[in-house]
Structure 1
Amino acid sequence: MAGGEERSETLARLPRLGFGGAAVGNLYAPLSDAAARGVIEAALVAGIGYFDTAPHYGFGLSETRLGEALAGRDAMVSTKVGRRLEPVATSARERHGFVDAAPFEPVFDYTRDGVMRSFEDSLRRLRRDRVDVLLAHDLGQATHGEAHVRHMRDFLEGGYRAMRELRDAGVVGAIGLGVNEQAVCEEILDHADVDVFLLAGRYTLLEQTALESFLPRCAARNVGIVIGGPFNSGALVETGGTLHYNYEAAPTAIVERVARLRRVCAAHDVPLAAAALRFPLAHPAVLSVIPGMATLDQVADAMRWLSLAIPDALWSDLKSEGLVRADAPVPVTRAAA
């Protein structure tokens, strides 16, 4: 099979709903091995067949847990490169947002050797000889500041070439970026041939600026999109207490916008989280959406929200209220034949 055909087949097989694996790496709160295994097993039983992870998630913990739970199972997996994991003798209980994680420290490395080493270590933890999608993790100006230029140079001259080699060798089905920043995706489109972007939090009910140039460019280049963070760090699913947005307490403008979104959804008897999960999937470039899952209830909720009947009038009202852009594709209810 030619490389382009294999990439197309890989992306065509991505299901609409996937499993975001940061939580089983103890993001923000610890999970026991048994609890993590239970959540992954519940996702498999529910029919979720795509699992996204990264070395950064629990510093190998997420990959290790997924590797144990998915061994011998038919599931698609994406993981990431761009950080080496260096052993540490002692460490704080919480580091980089992960609690009781593995005893390693992540070090950014987008060079060819760094990417190859990271990939080999991931395969070992995942107990696999290949992955379906490999993503360069957390490139971008907002993440790296002045170091962005150096990291981008390392990636384009080294890591990206390594990823292409892995794709050409058949040990990776498709390659791209896994990031929180839209701008770096557009920068990569100017310099590289990628298959897919995993973009977290930037095309949601709260944010649709990606419609201006990014999503049209992806559609024109036949680059697929996986949407991470469909709830914007919890803002679109949390129902009480402090709302979170972009991994921190939400500013007043976001809190007020979420309240308006919630009121419109309530008028149609639709949970805001259901609308948030379904909205990105209406765009033709979006292949899959991967909310984080840490509990059995979150797995069940995601499956229920994915299949919930949402009236077309909800989307019309969101647009008329200025809460969804007029040019945003929205899900359409198809009448029974």
Structure 2
Amino acid sequence: MKTPAFLPCTDGARLGLGGAPLGNLFEAMDDAQARAVVDAAWADGCRSFDTAPHYGHGLSERRLGDALRGHPRNTWRLSSKVGRLLTPQAQVPREQHSYVNTLPFIQHWDFSASGVRRSVEDSLQRLGLAQLDAVYIHDIDAATHGPGAASVLRQVLNETLPELTRLKQAGLISHIGLGVNDHQIVEQVLRHADLDVLMLAGRYTLLDQAALPTLMPQLVKRQVALALGGVFNSGILATRVSADRPITFNYAPAAQAWVDKALGMQAVCDQHGVSLPAAALQFALAHPATQIVMLGVRSAAQWQAARQADREVIPSDFWQQLRHEGLIPAEAPIPGEAA
């Protein structure tokens, strides 16, 4: 029997730990702080973890491997990504691609068959492991690659996916998928190939349901296991929305339309005594395509806050009011509603 790509927390909560903060995304943490985050999540029952070479140029992988290696291998799941290769360089900038104090490597794109095999083998070396539970092809969308996106897609179909299939047959990986911020590129790939898993960041959230009409039904029909990331849209849904502080959406200052929509949601939250992060997390989990939500946290306290948000009791009237005010689509599944 095929092993699942993800495991829920030991109490059944469908939450996992994302590894971007462990690679010093935006701000640095030392090894002890990083280890404390992983250990706290593990002690609280977390059993699914995600990382990538991109996250701190190998730093996240090293830290996660060190933290997890002592636990029985069949009791947890770990994913990483391909698409970027790391090359050693003695002097590197303090900040690279929004990661600070990275390991002494620079990165370059490589979706070739040889590059993919090297990427997986390098990741296993950094992690100190013999197998990855899932490997995602990382960031192949047009926003990332611009005019070269069509060429990247061709290479992904002709080289990357076939090589990952060979690595799967060799037992180095168990599940193959995409790790992207754009739902449209997933639909393009699905026209030509099957996927086991998908990590989609930011495109199915309380604020942004771009993936709802066309992609999410395909995932259910084709039994693609979905891990959602970015369910707080890089900050705007992570705390109480206030117009008098900087608000980020999609890793950048939020456009006014997103701010206005979030403020409308905050007003409904206030009427029903609901916290916005709880609404965001539970909405993302309510879709039948969603198997797990991966959370990027910097501390045990942030992990516990997310766990509390998952447990918060939200009245059904809250969701109905969001629908009535046009803040979420009528066809979007809501917690407690039969699919």
**TM-score bracket for the superposition, by shorter chain length:** over 0.9
Partner of 1:132: 133
TM-score, scaled to structure 2? 0.94
Q: Equivalent residues in 2 for 1:100-111 (5 A)? A: 100-111=101-112
1:226 is displaced (CA, Å) by 0.8
8 A Cα contact 2:6 2:292, kept in partner = no
Is 1:199 the counterpart of 2:200 in the alignment? yes
Partner of 2:210: 209
Q: Measure, in 2, the Cα distance between the counterparts of 1:37 and 1:13.
A: 21
8 A Cα contact 2:23 2:99, kept in partner = yes
1:276 is displaced (CA, Å) by 0.5
Partner of 2:5: 11
C-alpha RMSD of the superposition = 1.4
The amino acid that maps onto 1:117 is: R
1:70 is displaced (CA, Å) by 0.7
Is 1:250 the counterpart of 2:244 in the alignment? no
8 A Cα contact 1:131 1:171, kept in partner = yes
The amino acid that maps onto 1:118 is: S
Q: Equivalent residues in 2 for 1:1-337 (5 A)? A: 5-6=1-2, 9-11=3-5, 13=7, 16-73=14-71, 74-239=75-240, 241-332=245-336
Deviations 1:162-220 (A, max 9, x none): 11112223321211000001111001101111111100000000111212111111111
8 A Cα contact 1:14 1:76, kept in partner = no
Q: Measure, in 1, the Cα distance between the counterparts of 2:169 and 2:307.
A: 35
Q: Measure, in 1, the Cα distance between the counterparts of 2:264 and 2:315.
A: 18
8 A Cα contact 2:80 2:136, kept in partner = yes
Q: Percent identity?
A: 43
Ranges in structure 2 where 5+ consecutive residues have no aligned partner: none
The SS at the match of 1:18 is strand
8 A Cα contact 2:183 2:210, kept in partner = no
8 A Cα contact 1:134 1:172, kept in partner = yes
8 A Cα contact 2:7 2:48, kept in partner = no
8 A Cα contact 1:20 1:291, kept in partner = yes
8 A Cα contact 1:310 1:333, kept in partner = no
8 A Cα contact 1:112 1:155, kept in partner = no
Deviations 1:102-159 (A, max 9, x none): 1111111111110100000111111111111110000111110111122222221111
1:12 is displaced (CA, Å) by 6.4
Q: Measure, in 2, the Cα distance between the counterparts of 1:70 and 1:12.
A: 15
- Against the structure 1 CA distance between its residues 276 and 152, is the aligned structure 2 distance closer, same or farther, given a 3 Å change threshold? same
1:286 is displaced (CA, Å) by 0.8
The SS at the match of 2:63 is helix
1:100 is displaced (CA, Å) by 0.6
Q: Measure, in 2, the Cα distance between the counterparts of 1:57 and 1:154.
A: 23
Q: Name the stretch that deviates more: 322-331 or 168-177.
A: 168-177
1:292 is displaced (CA, Å) by 0.8
Deviations 1:282-321 (A, max 9, x none): 1111111112111121111011111221111111111111
Q: Measure, in 2, the Cα distance between the counterparts of 1:209 and 1:108.
A: 27
8 A Cα contact 2:164 2:176, kept in partner = yes
8 A Cα contact 1:25 1:98, kept in partner = yes
